[in-house]
Amino acid sequence: MGLTASGTKTILLVSVLHGCLFLIAGSGTEDPLDSSTMDISSRRFRAEFLQEWQGSADAPYFDASTPRNITGLVGHPVRLLCRVKNLQNRTVSWVRHRDIHLLTVGRYTYTSDQRFEAQHKPRSEEWALRIRSPQRRDSGQYECQISTTPPIGHAVYLNIVEPETTISSGPELFIQAGSTINLTCTVRHTPEPPSSITWTHGAQVINFDSARGGISLVTEKGLKSTSRLLVQRARGADAGLYTCGPNNAPPSSTRVHVLSGEHPAAMQQGCAKSSLDRITSIACCLLSLYLLRKPSFNLHFGT
């Protein structure tokens, strides 16, 4: 009802304005002082301005409030929405930018890819493109187009993400014996927060009530979930592979090296033995050098 009332109001306003413009244009032509110039300019005014103005009042347009950046999850249906006002007898299509592939035309799905589907309820302003089981490669730009001449488009960016687990320290962590191992595991892009996030050290599940003591775990669940593992007063036996395993995302691991001040040789060997990448080996060796240079080791370099 509200729509009808405002529609009527718009039509009335258009008619009134229309009339006014003709009066203005008309009065110009009757001016006896400057008739020839006025005649030309008013005709041009009438022709150009009114035509353009009528055209724009008539033309279809996109509702700019629909989201232009959609994030979806791998394997979970996602919908790109386009809302068109004043469509009249034109057609709305969805096009994939990557390969300029026509996906839908009006209510019909044009592509042979069964995962795509045109969605439209009769008499609604919404023209949606649904992707049943999106994959990472479906990420990119899509465009909703109206068949005006020239066609007008509304771009929507689709970002398809997968569940992801990361540990803040990266693949390797070097710490001094006696300090705290502090590992933060972050879980993103899961359909719902993980119901559990398990930490293991080697093959053993870490329990904060284990005989080791000094272990604490703080887990926060939400859009992005985190689990922080703190192991106080680290010693040699705490070294090794730590894995964070959410129930609904892939696991992530980090190798912890506990650098013992009393045994620089063992530590150096540890550096050489483990399969480190170049940067971590350099970091490890610099750290070894630094520790070796400390007076407590009583070592001297070529002096």
Ligand X SMILES: *[C@@H]1O[C@H](CO)[C@@H](O)[C@H](O)[C@H]1NC(C)=O
Which residues contact ligand X by CB under 6 A? 69, 71, 89-90, 157, 159, 168, 180, 182, 184, 230
In the β-sheet with 78-85, what is the strand arrangement from edge to edge?
A: 61-62, 78-85, 126-131, 116-119
Give the 3-state secondary structure of residue 200. strand
Least Cβ distance, residue 228 to ligand X (angstroms): 6
One-letter identity of residue 174: F
Query: Nearer to ligand X by C-beta: 139 or 198?
Result: 139
Q: How far is the CB of 148 from ligand X (least distance, A)?
A: 9
Closer CB to ligand X, 42 or 169, in the complex:
169
Smallest separation, CB 114 to ligand X (Å)? 27
Which tokens in the block code for residue 263?
């045994």
User: For residues 168 and 207, which CB has a smaller minimum distance to ligand X in the complex?
Assistant: 168
Q: How far is the CB of 61 from ligand X (least distance, A)?
A: 16
User: What Cα–Cα distance (Å) separates residue 60 from each residue in 40, 84, 87, 89, 97?
Assistant: 31, 7, 5, 10, 22
**Can you spell out the DSSP letters for 62-118?**
E-TTS-SEEEEETTS-EEEEEEEES-TT--EEEEETTTTEEEEETTEE-SS-TTEEE
Beta pairing partners, 198: 245
Give the shortest CB-222-to-ligand X separation in angstroms: 15
Instruction: Please identify, using beta-carbon distances, which residue of 175 and 284 lies nearer to ligand X.
Output: 175
For ligand X, which is the closer residue by CB, 28 or 154?
Answer: 154
Nearer Cβ to ligand X (225/288): 225
Instruction: Report the 3 state secondary structure along 217-268.
Output: EEEECCCCEEEEEEECCCCHHHCEEEEEEECCCCCEEEEEEEECCCCHHHHH
Q: Give me the least distance between CB of 65 and ligand X, in Å please.
A: 16
Give residue 157's identity as a one-letter amino acid code. Y
240 and 181 Cβ atoms separated by less than 8 Å: no
